[in-house]
Structure 1
Amino acid sequence: MEQVNRPPITVSSINFDRLSWIATAGVHSHHDAVAAMLADELGRADVVAPDAIRPDVVTMHSKVEYQDDVTGQTRRITVVYPDEEDLDAGRVSVLTHIGAAVIGLSEGQSIEWQSPKGGWRGLTVLRVHFQPERMAALSA
């Protein structure tokens, strides 16, 4: 999947290890295109210790508000692992295009990608309302 706008991203070492495993497993499943996108994103990520993650970076279980750059719509989601997905509750799997796109972005960053149907998609992270990664590291 071709990507045009690829801003720098940051991922904690804990998220990196688990997401790498998920991306590798997903390549051999019906999530192959999204898993490849996630693997590509992880391959260019700056991997840091959990306590070095800034609070404005999207990590797993972050509550994030983003704008769809194609439709202009704003949406709030929580980025979760595939087995935790619940779209009615706004819990979006990292093995979806939106989930794979937002992981590691910080507030104000935008990303674009080509969808499997050939159209272009893009989003901009407006705000990270809650980010548990750093909170957990600081309380440990």
Structure 2
Amino acid sequence: MSDFRPELPPIAMIRADAEKLSRIANSSAGAFAQTAEFLAREIDRAQVIEESQRLPGLVTMGSRVTFRDDVTAAVRTVRLVYPGEADVSQGTISVLTPIGAALIGLSAGQSIEWETVSGGRRSLTVLAVEAVN
């Protein structure tokens, strides 16, 4: 890994999401080591809030998120789900993917940059968030 240290935006997570995601990150450390580590770091730095404190536009589990890949300018809409529920053909993406781990806790208008497994850089910007129950 390089010395690449992007400035990370402030993020927030609902307590129930943070607790479940922490268990997932810990149990996935072997099979998905780098993404699990990235997710664990995101959980650690997040402001943990109660469901009642959730503001519109916050990316939580189950949210439908429209984001722009800042490298390619491609815009995608996905629903953020737990591992095992992901199906790209249905527009769902696992939180245990680099993009999923990057999205959790962001709010509409925020951007995040991270280093890929191959040493490249990815960046995305959240354009819109819709809560889905």
Q: Same fold (TM over 0.5)?
A: yes
1:74-113 equivalences under 5 Å are 74-113=75-114
Alpha-carbon distance in 2 for matches of 1:76, 1:5: 25
Alpha-carbon distance in 1 for matches of 2:102, 2:85: 18
For structure 2, the 5+ residue unaligned runs are none
Structure 1 ranges of 4+ moved more than 2 A: 129-132
Alpha-carbon distance in 1 for matches of 2:8, 2:51: 23
Q: Report whether the alignment pairs 1:22 with 2:14.
A: no
1:1-140 equivalences under 5 Å are 3-28=5-30, 30-132=31-133
Q: Would the alpha carbon gap of residues 3 and 88 (structure 1) be closer, same or farther in structure 2, given more than 3 Å must change? A: farther
Alignment root-mean-square deviation, CA: 1.2
User: How many Å apart are 1:5 and its aligned residue?
Assistant: 3.0
CA deviation profile, 1:42-81 (whole Å, cap 9, x unmatched):
0000001011111210000000000000000000000000
CA deviation profile, 1:78-101 (whole Å, cap 9, x unmatched):
000001010111100000000000
Alpha-carbon distance in 1 for matches of 2:85, 2:57: 23
User: How many Å apart are 1:129 and its aligned residue?
Assistant: 2.3
For residue 125 of structure 2, give the secondary structure of its aligned residue in structure 1: strand
For structure 1, the 5+ residue unaligned runs are 133-140
For residue 43 of structure 1, give the secondary structure of its aligned residue in structure 2: helix
Q: How many residues align?
A: 131
Given residue 93 of structure 2, which amino acid in structure 1 is its aligned partner?
V
User: How many Å apart are 1:3 and its aligned residue?
Assistant: 4.4
For residue 118 of structure 2, give the secondary structure of its aligned residue in structure 1: coil
Higher helix residue share: 1
- What is the identity percentage for the equivalent residue pairs of Structure 1 and Structure 2? 44
TM-score (norm. length: structure 1) = 0.90
Alpha-carbon distance in 1 for matches of 2:115, 2:58: 23
Alpha-carbon distance in 1 for matches of 2:99, 2:132: 17
For residue 23 of structure 1, give the secondary structure of its aligned residue in structure 2: helix
Given residue 120 of structure 1, which amino acid in structure 2 is its aligned partner?
R
